[in-house]
Chain A
Amino acid sequence: MAEKQLTAWRLAGENLRRQPLRVVCLTAVAAILASALFGGAIFTTGIQTGLDVLAARFGADLMVVPTGNAQKAEAVLLGGEPNYFYFNGEIARKIAPTPGVRQVSPQFFLTSLSADCCDLPVQLIAFEPETDFVVKPWLTALPAQGLRDGQIAIGCDILARENRTVKLFGREYPVAAQIGKTATGLDRSVLMNMSTIRTLIDHAHQEKLHFLADDEPAGAISAVLVRLDGTRPPATVAREIRRENPNVEVVVAQGVVQQIGQALRRLKGQVFAVLVALWVVAATVLTAVYSGSVNERKKEFSVLRLLGATRAKVAGIVLGEAFLTASSGGLIGVVLAALAVFPFSTYIGDRLQLPYIPPAAAYIFGMALFSLALVALAGLLAAAYAAWKIGRAETYLTMRAGE
């Protein structure tokens, strides 16, 4: 039978086993540190990724919408409520000649509560294939001609039926493509061309469904997406479009991305401040606890020295205890943070009006290891002072009666 060796590790473990309260406190501190570090990193990285995707995916420089609808339009972009609003289709033609404008393309919005695909209302977006420059890049999987009449493309949060169709207003439409996660309103959108949406509205009328758009003159649109040629600043072009067309508002895409970027920077700053505060407090607490416990355990350590343990061995026991508590606490913290961040991050992102895309598995794994390592290191460093005090053994090794 192999003997159970009394290694420094086992001594450390045995000491911890007999001091549950101390272990619980030390583990909890480590867990809080690790969860804050890991959770904060994963969450802010997720939003950074979301922002990058948004900036890359949103190909238009300006979005022209009817007066009073700028916020609704931003909501459509960023994943708030689906919305619809209309103005005369002539607007597109009037904007096109504005200096600095390279290309314009109209879009038509509709919302559907009745789609059987999803719990939430769905945003229907129709585009004009001849002029479109926004939607096409999203549909890279499709053949060159893009979406054909009658076909739709769906965002990543929309579930197609088994026969790869989505039922809208009582009819099934074949899904030609599904768009990857963007963490924007696009995830809950259905895309189609202008003639498909006219057919869809006709069918809906046959089902006795009516829309606000019915009252609009034929050719009404919801937005004009504008690409600039780069010769003039977006804000200048936006101002000129507003001056020439009294009934429109202009959303500057760069502005939206910048706003989110600012919000993200603020969030990162807050997360960072919380992390720094936590680490300072924890480092102080841990160092105090460890060096306090050395005073308390003078006797135990001097006995070990009397029995022939080297200074290094005694220090090793203290460091071993610190490492065991810090790393197990770190592991608990990472797991708890994962349980909080992964199921709820999309929801939190929505509430903050920030796009969130979960980081890649490799990044998550690496970050988990990094958090663990850092917390274990912090535990070791906090205990290092205590271990050093033991190294100066002479000061306490005289054992006297009554001690």
Chain B
Amino acid sequence: MLAATGLTKEYRRGGGRRVAFNAVDGVDLTVAKGEIVSVVGRSGSGKSTLLNMLTGLLRPTAGAVLFDGQDIWGWRDAEISRWRNTKIGYMPQGQSLLANLNVLDNVRLPFFLARRDGEITAKALARLAQVGIAHLAANFPAELSGGEARRVALARALINAPELLIADEPTGDLDLATTNEIMKLFAQIVGDGTAVLLVTHEAEAVISPTGARIYEMTGGKLAGRDKKVMRTH
């Protein structure tokens, strides 16, 4: 479904002399339908940069991203936005809820970002129930705990029933018990037929959902890791 080849992003840093370096360096990666893929890497290894290129937000210096065989970087902004809105569910790194909207509106938001017909409120409430926070629908993001906010972001990513869910360190700053619960939700989502691309720290990786295919990222380079996750939930 999703295939990246030779994906590279070059950045320049360091005041006057501007040294060029590759934050992402010749990455090949595939995600098949209904599969769960996990990318593990230390902070600064280029994980978020990779995800931004995979989702058409950040233009690669080199390489291609294909979705169902089509080069997404050949599309216009309207097409790429529409694709991101319908086929991809994205859980960004960190706190990403819109502070000015309540939980229900945050979840409904992606539905309204493209032209659509139909009712959404009932679906949004069902998604909130699925992630276990139906009672918080009327709250504002500032009133939520970190774990609750992640659940809202997850419900929001799922609202348009995407084919691929992408999560950038979805449990980055959560305690172990909460991390466990969220990972269970991912396992359940994969069970429903949605592919999941999960980006995690080393620490989180230990508790990646069962059956995940794992890549390891170091200094912008991606390598497959043969050992499957041992632990089950």
Contacts and interface: CB of A to CB of B under 8 A. Distances in A.
Interface stretch (B79-87, B129-137, B217-225): B79-87
Contacts of B98: 300, 303-304
Interface in A300-321: 300, 302-313
A394 B81 contact: no
Contacts of A14: 100-101, 105
Interface stretch (B66-74, B109-117, B180-188): B109-117
Nearest to A393: B57
Contacts of A5: 112
Interface string A280-313: 0000000000000000000110111111111111
A393 B57 CA distance: 8
Given A6-B105, A311-B77, A306 B96 contact: yes
Contact of A307 (B43, B93, B113): B113
Contacts of A18: 99-100
B121 A308 contact: no
A350 to B, nearest CB: 51
B48 interface: yes
Contacts of B114: 308
Nearest to A310: B81
Interface in A51-100: none
A309 B58 contact: no
Contacts of A402: 94
Interface in B4-52: 43, 48-49, 52
A354 to B, nearest CB: 50
A163 interface: no
A3 B156 contact: no
B113 A394 contact: no
Contacts of B85: 307-309
Contacts of A302: 57, 92
Contact of A306 (B83, B84, B105): B84
A397 B169 contact: no
Contacts of A11: 100-101
A78 B119 CA distance: 70
Given A3-B120, A18-B99, A308 B94 contact: no
Interface string A361-403: 0000000000000000000000000000000011001111111
Contacts of A3: 119-121
Contact of B81 (A303, A308, A400): A308
A234 B200 CA distance: 95
Contacts of A306: 55, 57, 84, 90, 92, 96
A397 B58 contact: yes
A43 B85 CA distance: 54
B48 A309 contact: no
Contact of B57 (A299, A397, A403): A397
Contacts of B48: 398-401
Contacts of A393: 57
Contact of A303 (B77, B96, B105, B169): B96
B110 A308 contact: yes
Contacts of A398: 48-49, 52, 57-58
Nearest to B122: A3
B1 to A, nearest CB: 18
A5 B97 CA distance: 18
A403 B94 CA distance: 8
B113 A313 contact: yes
Contacts of A305: 57, 81
A145 interface: no
Nearest to B157: A307
A14 B49 CA distance: 31
Given A18-B99, A394-B58, A399 B93 contact: yes
Contacts of A6: 101, 105, 108-109, 111-112
Nearest to A311: B77
Contacts of B90: 306-307
B172 interface: yes
B94 A401 contact: yes
A198 B52 CA distance: 98
Given A308-B86, A310-B81, A311-B77, A303 B92 contact: yes
Contact of B77 (A19, A310, A401): A310
A266 interface: no
B78 interface: yes
A18 B142 CA distance: 12
Contacts of B58: 394, 397-398
Nearest to A299: B96
Contacts of A15: 100
Contacts of B84: 306-308
Nearest to B53: A398
A205 interface: no
A308 B81 CA distance: 5
Interface in A1-47: 3, 5-7, 11, 14-15, 17-19
Q: Which 7 A-B pairs have the closest CB atoms?
A: A308-B85, A6-B112, A18-B100, A310-B81, A308-B84, A307-B110, A306-B90
7 contacts: A3-B121, A306-B90, A307-B90, A308-B110, A393-B57, A397-B57, A399-B96
Given A308-B84, A308-B110, A401-B94, 12 more contacts: A14-B101, A15-B100, A300-B99, A303-B96, A303-B98, A304-B98, A306-B57, A307-B156, A308-B114, A313-B113, A394-B59, A399-B93
Interface of A: 3, 5-7, 11, 14-15, 17-19, 299-300, 302-313, 393-394, 397-403
Interface of B: 43, 48-49, 52, 55, 57-59, 77-78, 81-86, 88, 90, 92-94, 96-101, 105, 108-114, 119-121, 156, 168-169, 172
